Structure 1
């Protein structure tokens, strides 16, 4: 295999080693609020220099994650009731963005970097994740673009798409010198069905009212899963193997790990904080 070439952005991936905290197969008892507390914990730990770079793959079952803007929808509870009827739990994350779907066919990846003495440009963080995903699927015949896909849910300038159909979105969170770049990858099942559900949520939560913030009008056909786009069966486990292989090729050293003693204390703090925020915003 030829040696991979690295752009300035992907140099971020060339860490001395990658600490892998794999939470991709914990099942339905692994709650999404735990994930957001995990990333805040790791951001703090990495930013303080107490941990090297971390890669955390994670999967949650039947959860809709709302952004802060979504909580201002005029008929939010009506929209939430609909999502609950579809078998989905609803939570609010501790950062920006809009509603996304998590289920057993969606792999999320968090890359946590130390910012160091020189500030890391926001776009460089996004580009690093984009380059990693391209490297993971470099044997596939389709080019992966990064651009906003209008009509998708949680649209942004770093939507990842193939032939103008979105399969992933990237976000960032920065805490005390640590940077978490997060991506959700719709691996299998129907991307358009996920989008239809979010589209219905917004219709019910808006009910035609004008709002200061322009919520997206969802067009389900602009979203698809990797399996649909690659026209072959791809599983979360397949993508996990590609992820670990690419990281190993990038830096040479990866190792499995869990939270350490000091991090467990931090985690409890961040978990209680996001639980309290959800109780306040959602009323339960």
Structure 2
């Protein structure tokens, strides 16, 4: 997967501080915008870093929980804002100790399989964390489980997803860097308990075991900050191609405004159901 990562020019868009006070919905719109720009070759391949505070991003299946309103109220009492995304996947915790990365590629000249996207992100994270032995397989008992859960010594610290739009592919990962991974998992465990209340459902929601999740710092015995990882990400990118650190220009912001409104409208429809 190194061929995908080695590009003549990489765009670097750091929102690890500026996005903190905003809703995660802004990041969905941001990655949709980048999918179009990169997919249509109006921007080089891009790495975006982003952080949001005290939010739980829910998937469509989460919103179908029998007692979803009660479950979302529980999250609010714990200081977390629930957001519903109009896509697959299940509940994920975001806070200031969780760094999100998006690698955005174009399929304009060559198609990219789902697994190729996942493998590219896995290769990037291994470059990012050379001191760790990282494995990729589903960690049962984790929240938002998937075949590309990233773990160290059997404990999950990251999960990968993808978004595809207009020949652009955004491969997204959340990295639990700081804090307690098991405490985040316990929050989601209680969310599902509130949402299910032992009712039988057609969809099988994960049975969360908090002990199978941990933060990167807990697993490697270091005191890395989110910003330490952002700096590492930039340095890794610089070994893969020329880096241009740029935010959106006026024309790109116009496209972002379009996608943001679309995301807000979709979220409002989901919450109204």
Under a length normalisation based on structure 1, what TM-score does the superposition of the two structures give? 0.94
Task: Name 2:166's counterpart in structure 1.
Answer: 176
Structure 1's unaligned 5+ residue stretches are: 1-8
Establish whether residue 17 from structure 1 lines up as the match of residue 6 from structure 2: no
Q: RMSD over aligned Cα, in angstroms?
A: 1.2
Return the alpha-carbon distance in structure 2 between the equivalents of residues 212 and 255 of structure 1. 48
Establish whether residue 214 from structure 1 lines up as the match of residue 197 from structure 2: no
- Aligned with residue 31 of structure 2, among 25, 39, 48: 39
- When residues 155 and 34 of structure 1 are mapped into structure 2, their CA distance, relative to the original with a 3 A threshold, is same
Structure 2 counterparts to residues 1-284 of structure 1, below 5 A? 9-26=1-18, 28-138=20-130, 140=131, 142-251=132-241, 253-283=242-272
For residues 61-96 of structure 1, what are the alpha-carbon distances to aligned partners after superposition, in whole Å with 9 as ceiling and x for unaligned? 000000111111111011000000000001112321
CA drift of 1:27 comes to 5.6
Return the alpha-carbon distance in structure 1 between the equivalents of residues 110 and 38 of structure 2. 15
- When residues 15 and 94 of structure 1 are mapped into structure 2, their CA distance, relative to the original with a 3 A threshold, is farther
Return the alpha-carbon distance in structure 1 between the equivalents of residues 20 and 128 of structure 2. 27
CA drift of 1:17 comes to 1.0
Q: Which runs of 4+ in 1 moved over 4 A?
A: none
For residues 43-65 of structure 1, what are the alpha-carbon distances to aligned partners after superposition, in whole Å with 9 as ceiling and x for unaligned? 01111111111111000000000
Under a length normalisation based on structure 2, what TM-score does the superposition of the two structures give? 0.97
Contact 1:68 1:93 in 2 (8 A): yes
Contact 2:41 2:106 in 1 (8 A): yes
- When residues 44 and 166 of structure 1 are mapped into structure 2, their CA distance, relative to the original with a 3 A threshold, is same
Structure 2's unaligned 5+ residue stretches are: none
Return the alpha-carbon distance in structure 1 between the equivalents of residues 10 and 33 of structure 2. 17
Return the alpha-carbon distance in structure 2 between the equivalents of residues 28 and 179 of structure 1. 24
Counting matched residue pairs gives: 273
